[in-house]
């Protein structure tokens, strides 16, 4: 694997990319430039939100995930689908059937994450109960939100709930149980997340709160979708219906905003989705404006994980499917509170270490130099038209001005500046004649 492929979630396919600037405009951290008619990602600034993937009209932004063919290297393979998978196949196909079919695709075992979602919710509630003080506490579920906080809002890292998300907790538990039960070593077990999310591969390869992730890979829902769909259509009768413990309706709700808090006794929470709204709300958190809020759920994707870029079903239908499943399975608590309390006290859910602030680099390491560059950027900005046209290869005029200051672009790259000069020369020439 090359360095880029483990560090980040997407790459640009140079052959397909025509340099149309759509992704560059959509990037919330201004990590993309267009040079020589090709988009380039500055991985230093990329937070793996998948916006570029979502907007590219030419499918030139490619997600980096585990290929199903890679599974061979594990002796015992476990499929751990995000509850979002249950929302992808229409409204009369039940989670059990999906799990059955998924298993037939080559897993030795499949596991329903929803139950662990419910447990995690109780663990978070326990944390809120035991830790009064800093507020609002922010969900750790969306790895991109964690990254966004580290980079853009580093001062509020300590508000992230120090509890691992369900996928990690489920994997931790499965690895222990299965290795005991089947008498195989933990290393021989491969736990693969079936995911709507472009960022999971990065969070698995480079976890922010532990040395090594409990997961071994992530397969995109859209990559495995056709295979599941075909088998579902062929199956004459639902199989293997009772092999799993009852599905948790509360847990399934984690696929949409509000899911984490729906089961909680606290009423003072908010849920936000979409990258720009998330940035807005985190700005308010940084101001100290939301102290009265107990818990804040943020999802980078619009409508939460059902809006993940690697899904197939459109997110409105997927959301309605999730809501229906919640109704079908009810909001009866399926896990024992005392078990969760015990595991909580044993720190079973806890981060190994806190999320560290990783602010974006300032304009210069030296403060006086940084201030000089800030002023210079303002000066250059005044020479630019302010139309944010993107022809220069930067997403907007201020970013272009910054690129100039940082020596990454020259003023003549701005078509407005260069033609104005050009026109002036021409006029000058005409006058002489």
Q: Are 318 and 311 in contact (CB under 8 A)?
A: yes
> Which partner in ligand SF4, another protein, none is near 301 (CB below 5 to 8 A by kind)?
ligand SF4
Work out whether 157 is an interface residue with ligand SF4 (CB under 6 A): no
Q: Decide: is 136 part of the binding site for ligand SF4 (CB under 6 A).
A: no
Asked if 410 is part of the footprint of another protein (rule: CB under 8 A), the reply reads no
201: enclosing H helix or E strand: helix 200-205
User: DSSP letter at 375?
Assistant: H
What does the DSSP 8-state code read for residue 371?
Answer: H
In 3-state terms, what secondary structure has residue 61? strand
Rounded distance between C-alpha atoms, residue 127 and residue 63, angstroms: 35
- 308 binding partner (options ligand SF4, another protein, none; Cβ < 5 to 8 Å by kind): ligand SF4
Question: 260, exposed or middle or buried, with CB in 10 Å at 0-12, 13-18, 19+?
Answer: buried
Among 197, 215, 380, 414, binds ligand SF4 (CB under 6 A): 197
Burial profile 222-231: b = 16 or more Cβ within 10 angstroms, e = fewer: bbbbeebbeb
Beta strand 269-273 pairing with 217-220: unpaired
**Interaction between residue 367 and another protein (CB under 8 A):** yes
Q: Does 166 bind ligand SF4 (CB under 6 A)?
A: no
Does the footprint of ligand SF4 cover residue 199 (CB under 6 A)? Answer: yes
Helical segments of 105-160, H only: 114-130, 143-152
Is position 116 an interface residue for another protein (rule: CB under 8 A)?
no
Of the pair 373, 383, the CB lying nearest another protein is at 373
- Distance, CA of 397 to CA of 392 (rounded, Å): 9
- Residues paired with 77 in a beta bridge: 190
- What stretches of 263-363 show up as alpha helix (H) in DSSP? 275-287, 315-329, 337-345
Size of the site for another protein (CB under 8 A): 23
Structure tokens given for 85? 């998978």
* Kind plus residue range of the DSSP H or E element containing 252: helix 249-252
Query: Which residues are paired to 298 by β-bridges?
Result: 272
Six-digit token string for 71: 């599974």
359 lies in the site for another protein, by CB under 8 A? yes
The answer to whether residue 255 forms part of the interface with ligand SF4 (CB under 6 A) is no
- Interaction between residue 156 and another protein (CB under 8 A): yes
Choose the one of ligand SF4, another protein, none that binds residue 258, judging by a C-beta under 5 to 8 angstroms depending on kind: none
Q: Token digits for 44?
A: 């230093």
CA distance 381 to 254: 44
Using CB under 6 A as the criterion, what x/- string covers residues 40-79 for binding ligand SF4?
----------------------------------------
Query: Nearer to ligand SF4 by C-beta: 111 or 254?
Result: 254
Stretch that binds another protein, among 55-63, 118-126, 210-218, 358-366 (CB under 8 A): 358-366
Query: What is the C-alpha to C-alpha distance for residues 66 and 298, in angstroms, rounded to an integer?
Result: 26
Binding of residue 287 to another protein (CB under 8 A): yes
Is residue 188 a contact point for another protein (CB under 8 A)?
no
CB of 311 to ligand SF4, least distance (A): 8
CB 33 within 8 A of CB 24: yes
Tell me which of 134, 371, 391, 410 binds another protein, using CB under 8 A: 371
Q: Which does 357 bind (CB under 5 to 8 A by kind): ligand SF4, another protein, none?
A: another protein
Q: Which member of 28, 196, 217, 259 binds ligand SF4 (CB under 6 A)?
A: 196
The nearest distance, CB 308 to ligand SF4, in angstroms, is 3
Please give the structure tokens belonging to residue 421.
Answer: 């000069």
Q: How many residues bind ligand SF4 (CB under 6 A)?
A: 12
Window contacting ligand SF4 (CB under 6 A); options: 101-109, 122-130, 193-201, 313-321 = 193-201
Q: Which residues bind another protein (CB under 8 A)?
A: 154-156, 283-284, 286-289, 292, 357, 359-360, 362-365, 367-368, 370-371, 374-375
Q: Which residues bind ligand SF4 (CB under 6 A)?
A: 142-144, 196-197, 199, 299-301, 304-305, 308
């Amino acid at each position: 694997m090359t360095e880029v492929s483990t560090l980040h979630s997407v790459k640009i396919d140079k052959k397909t990319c025509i340099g149309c600037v759509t992704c560059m405009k959509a990037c919330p951290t201004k990590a993309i430039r267009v040079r020589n008619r090709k988009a380039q990602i500055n991985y230093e600034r990329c937070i793996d939100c998948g916006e570029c993937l979502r907007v590219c009209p030419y499918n030139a932004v490619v997600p980096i995930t585990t290929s199903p063919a890679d599974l061979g290297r594990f002796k015992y393979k476990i499929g751990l689908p995000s509850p979002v998978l249950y929302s992808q196949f229409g409204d009369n196909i039940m989670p059990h059937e999906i799990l059955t079919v998924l298993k037939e695709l080559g897993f030795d075992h499949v596991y329903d994450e929803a139950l662990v979602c419910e447990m995690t919710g109780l663990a978070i509630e326990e944390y809120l109960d035991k830790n009064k003080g800093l507020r609002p506490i922010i969900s750790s579920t969306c790895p991109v939100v964690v990254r966004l906080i580290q980079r853009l809002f580093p001062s509020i890292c300590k508000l992230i709930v120090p509890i691992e998300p369900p996928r990690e907790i489920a994997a931790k538990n499965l690895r222990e149980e299965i290795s005991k039960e089947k008498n195989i070593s933990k290393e021989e077990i491969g736990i693969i997340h079936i995911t709507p999310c472009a960022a999971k591969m990065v969070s698995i390869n480079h976890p922010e709160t532990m040395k090594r992730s409990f997961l071994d890979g992530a397969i995109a829902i859209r990559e495995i979708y056709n295979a599941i769909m075909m088998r579902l259509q062929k199956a004459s009768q639902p199989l293997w219906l009772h092999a799993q413990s009852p599905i948790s309706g509360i847990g399934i709700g984690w696929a949409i905003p509000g899911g984490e808090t729906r089961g909680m006794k606290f009423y003072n929470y908010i849920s936000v989705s979409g990258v720009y709204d998330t940035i807005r709300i985190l700005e308010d958190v940084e101001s100290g404006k939301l102290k009265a809020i107990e818990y804040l759920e943020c999802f980078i994707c619009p409508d939460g994980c059902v809006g993940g870029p690697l899904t197939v079903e459109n997110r409105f239908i997927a959301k309605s499917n999730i809501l229906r499943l919640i109704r079908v399975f009810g909001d009866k608590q399926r896990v024992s509170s005392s078990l969760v309390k015990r595991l909580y006290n044993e720190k079973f859910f806890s981060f190994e270490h806190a999320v560290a602030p990783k602010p974006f680099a300032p304009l210069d390491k030296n403060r006086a130099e940084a201030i000089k560059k800030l002023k210079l950027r303002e000066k250059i900005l005044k020479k630019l038209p302010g139309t944010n046209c993107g022809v220069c290869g930067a997403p907007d005029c201020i970013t272009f001005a910054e690129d100039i200051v940082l020596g990454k672009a020259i003023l003549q790259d701005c078509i407005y500046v260069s033609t104005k000069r050009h026109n002036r020369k021409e006029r000058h020439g005409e006058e002489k004649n």
